[in-house]
Chains A and B, each alone.
Chain A
Amino acid sequence: MSDAKPRIRVPATAKVGDVIEIKTLVQHVMETGNRKTADGKVVPRNIINSFTASFAGQEFFKAEMQPGISANPYLAFFMKVPGPGEFEFTWVDDAGVKVSQKTPLAIG
């Protein structure tokens, strides 16, 4: 996985009970395993196969991805704000590389 930091967008502030949208973007080749090099060797599959989102230690959304997802996967989803806390987003690829990112949410 690339060293580039995943990009996360959450609302600047939110009220308890609001349903907010979270947008994430991470850099990854998402190699499908279908491609061959010029000398006919299959390029081994390496995709981000799982993504999890948790808030204040509670997992609320998960994605299982397959080779049909584009390179540098973008993913937007929602959460109902339960109270103050911090997001933690985790991406894991076929090579076992794990990238985690924490983002606080301001209540106001």
Chain B
Amino acid sequence: MARRSPAGSALEDRRQRAKEDRVIASLEEGPAQTPGVLKAMQRLDIEIVDRRTFLLGAGASLAIATFLADLPALAQEPIRSLDEALKKVLGDAKPAESGITLEVPEIAENGNTVPFALAVESPMTPESYVKTLHIFASGNPQVGVASYIFTPASGKAAVSSRMRLARTQDVVAVAELSDGKFLLGKRGVKVTIGGCGG
């Protein structure tokens, strides 16, 4: 935890620390303490405790906030490899490697926003429709990008959005059909400047 005084400037902080150091030094010197130093120490002791208590309190509330923010991330453990992601979606099924239109730029200058469009030809009737379209970025720190859930009322199994790509890699799309079949599509994207914030 950074030892920064909560409201004061860096200069005040330095002064405060110098004061503490002086008191500690005088303590280490042994019993030969002048009453003046003792008085200063008592006064400072209160100050130190107050400051530590404050810092402790601030630290604790910060820790709780971080914990809360982390909860959803923990609930859905990030998937780090494409194989793992595909296995989770496909199970043991073998996808047909056709039928998905996956539009991505061949070269993406900015990996922070790479446009993409996904589409699957489907009648979109209650008897035959696309249930889910998944998109994965095989070379990202977390391969999952998004999953889109359709209903026959969607009319058309197509979406477009923008994704982050950390580096040059393959983008993979998987479609889950209402009859239990799967389709898979893959396209390579060259990325000039990676996204994902390192």
- Residues of A bordering B, CB below 8 Å: 19-20, 32-36, 39, 44-46, 49, 55, 58-71, 73-80, 82, 94-95
Contacts and interface: CB of A to CB of B under 8 A. Distances in A.
Interface in B110-140: 112-114, 124, 135, 137, 140
A73 B161 CA distance: 7
Interface of B: 2, 66, 69-70, 72-73, 78, 112-114, 124, 135, 137, 140-156, 158-164, 195-198
Given A71-B113, A76-B159, A80-B156, 7 more contacts: A36-B198, A63-B148, A69-B161, A70-B162, A78-B154, A94-B72, A95-B69
A80 B162 contact: no
A14 B167 CA distance: 41
A66 B146 contact: yes
Nearest to B141: A34
A63 B159 contact: yes
Contacts, number: 121
5 contacts: A63-B147, A68-B145, A78-B158, A80-B124, A80-B154
A66 B135 CA distance: 10
Contacts of B147: 63-64
Given A67-B164, A79-B153, A61 B141 contact: no
Contact of A64 (B146, B151, B155): B146
Contacts of B159: 63, 75-77
Contact of A73 (B69, B151, B162): B162
Contacts of A19: 155-156
Given A63-B149, A64-B147, A74 B73 contact: no
Nearest to A68: B145
Given A34-B141, A49-B72, A70-B112, A80 B148 contact: no
Nearest to B113: A70
Secondary structure class of chain A's binding surface, majority of residues? strand
Contacts of A49: 72
A75 B142 contact: no
B82 to A, nearest CB: 12
A60 B154 contact: yes
A68 B146 contact: yes
A40 to B, nearest CB: 11
Instruction: Specify which of A20, A44, A62, A68 lies most central, judged by the most chain B CB atoms within 10 Å of its CB.
Output: A68
Given A69-B163, A74-B162, A80-B124, A64 B149 contact: yes
Given A45-B70, A45-B73, A94-B73, A68 B140 contact: yes
A54 to B, nearest CB: 9
Given A19-B156, A63-B148, A77-B154, A69 B70 contact: no
